[in-house]
Structure 1
Amino acid sequence: MIKKLMGMMLVAAFSLNVHADEASLRKAIEATYPKVRVESITKTSYAGLYEVFLDGQIIYTDDKFSFLIADGRLIEPKSKRDVTGERLDELTKVDFSSLPLDQAIKVVKGNGSRKLVVFSDPDCPYCKRLEQKELVNINDVTIYTFLFPLEQLHPDAVNKSKAIWCATDRAKAWQDWVLNGQLAKAGNCDTSAIDKSAELGRKLGVVSTPTLIFADGKRMLGAYPAKDIEKAMSTTPAKK
């Protein structure tokens, strides 16, 4: 009887401790994110992790809310640092100085002091948006565009890439197309650079367009606003 009573007391104590942990965790979350509604908190069987259901999504954290895992990313709650994102930036860095820039279309804007590489598909709507809405607002930069046609998505992108590459003035032909929809007449020239760019992209893990690579080796995927591109370049030393 005594053993049974002690067992019941231990279960009760454990239950109270769990509820206390959940209450303190809820308080910590709401203090950090006051506008977030915490629906439920459940302790999992995995190394002290708690499942937190809030605002229609599940995150995982510890009892002190010293970190959170959401959408596969580890976040530091107080500073809002994306720890996974920072680590991914480091692991996917590119040696900018090793890039074969002679295989790219070179467009110089202003003094061209800053450097930017873009992997772009002529028929990619996001690539056109990047050029038309964002890059037009950035000055003093040299943009190296590697033609990276995604044939499975855009069957005519290879033909357009060849027409642009074989133009007398490649920079003008590229801008005429992405800015005004005017394609250069197809010509005959050595287009092996397009194949080499495709191989380079695969080597670097480029899977979508546009993919931007900055002089410090970090990359950005998608048609980001000009202000974000400017910010990324402002933290990048200029290279010749």
Structure 2
Amino acid sequence: MSKKWIAMLAASLFATHAWADEAGLKKAIEATYPKVKVDSVVKTPYAGLYEVFLDGQIIYTDDKFSFLIAEGRLVEPKSKRDITGERMDELTRVDFASLPLDQAVKVVKGNGSRKLVVFSDPDCPYCKRLEQKELSNINDVTIYTFLFPLEQLHPDAANKSRAIWCAPDRAKAWNDWILNGQLPKAQGTCDTPIEKVAELGRKLNVTSTPTLIFADGKRMLGAYPAKDIEKAMAAAPGSKK
């Protein structure tokens, strides 16, 4: 959870009025936190809890807005289903067909029949681990890498992104760097989509790298093992081996 939310939870005194519906509760939350955009409010079937999706996270409250449960997981005991996790998958799903894949570095492995999008920072150690230890063991996939430098963490990442994008062979330049640490020798200049990709990342609430997006719109954050990536690709319609 962000420090902003910790501060708000610590400082807030909530109203005791019972809100008759989701719309009324949404207005109450936004009135209390005018700088926060509430994406949705849905009543759950569990003990009068309401699910609130805001700032890319799920929190819970009651009809009186008398408390907030944040960073908690709602789990169904009998089935062991992670209800919060399932809902996060639904609420953060991406329209894969709408992604501007022409703004990504395209690497085809094997027959390239499956599709995977990765938001990656050239200087992110977890991105390098993902490529070197996990994606290197996956075949028959087309990987679209959106160069997403996090300059506040890696000041030179934008320069590396431009060098890779402007190389005569972007796929080779990306693999040379991410697998072997070698940038293109002749670093030309060209128009790059880096700013557009940054805006896309903001729109999709991409805040860390690597972020993986599968053909069904499901996203995964981090350098997941190859077996988990394979499983997610197998579950995506139209992205079978």
Does the pair score TM above 0.5? yes
Partner of 2:179: 179
CA-based RMSD: 1.9
Aligned equivalent of 2:99:
99
**Where in structure 1 are there 5+ consecutive unaligned residues?**
1-46, 50-68
SS in 2 for 1:108: strand
Runs (4 or more) in structure 1 with deviation over 2 Å come to none
Cα distance, 1:79 vs structure 2: 1.9
In 2: Cα distance, 1:205 partner to 1:70 partner: 18
- Which moved further from structure 2: 81-90 or 71-80? 71-80
Using the alignment, how far apart are the partners of 1:197 and 1:78 within structure 2? 43
> SS of the counterpart of 1:73?
coil
Counterpart residue identity of residue 184, structure 2: A
State the shift of 1:238 in Å: 2.2
2:162 is matched with: 162
Instruction: Report the 3-state secondary structure (helix = DSSP H, G, I; strand = E; otherwise coil) of the residue aligned with 1:202.
Output: helix
Matched residue, 1:116: 116
Larger Rg: 1
- In 1, Cα distance between equivalents of 2:204 and 2:71: 24
Determine the C-alpha separation between the residues in 2 that align with 1:237 and 1:168.
34
Deviation at 1:71, TM superposition (A): 4.7
SS in 2 for 1:213: strand
Amino acid at match of 2:207: V
Q: How big is each residue's C-alpha offset from its partner over 1:156-201, in whole Å with a ceiling of 9 and x where there is no partner?
A: 000000000000000000000000000113211111x111111101
Query: 1:113: Cα distance to partner?
Result: 0.6
Deviations 1:68-126 (A, max 9, x none): x9951101122221100100110111000000000000000111111000000000000
Letter matched to residue 130 of structure 1: L
Number of the residue aligned with 2:199: 199
**Aligned equivalents of 1:90 and 1:48: distance in 2?**
21
Change (3 A) 1:177 1:48: closer
Which structure 2 residues correspond to residues 51-90 of structure 1 after superposition, within 5 A? 71-90=71-90
SS of alignment partner, residue 106 of structure 1: strand
Give the distance between the partners of 1:48 and 1:159, measured in 2 at CA.
51
Distance 1:169 1:78, change over 3 A: same
Give the C-alpha shift of residue 48 in structure 1. 10
TM-score normalised per structure 1: 0.70
Q: Percent of counterpart pairs with the same letter?
A: 85
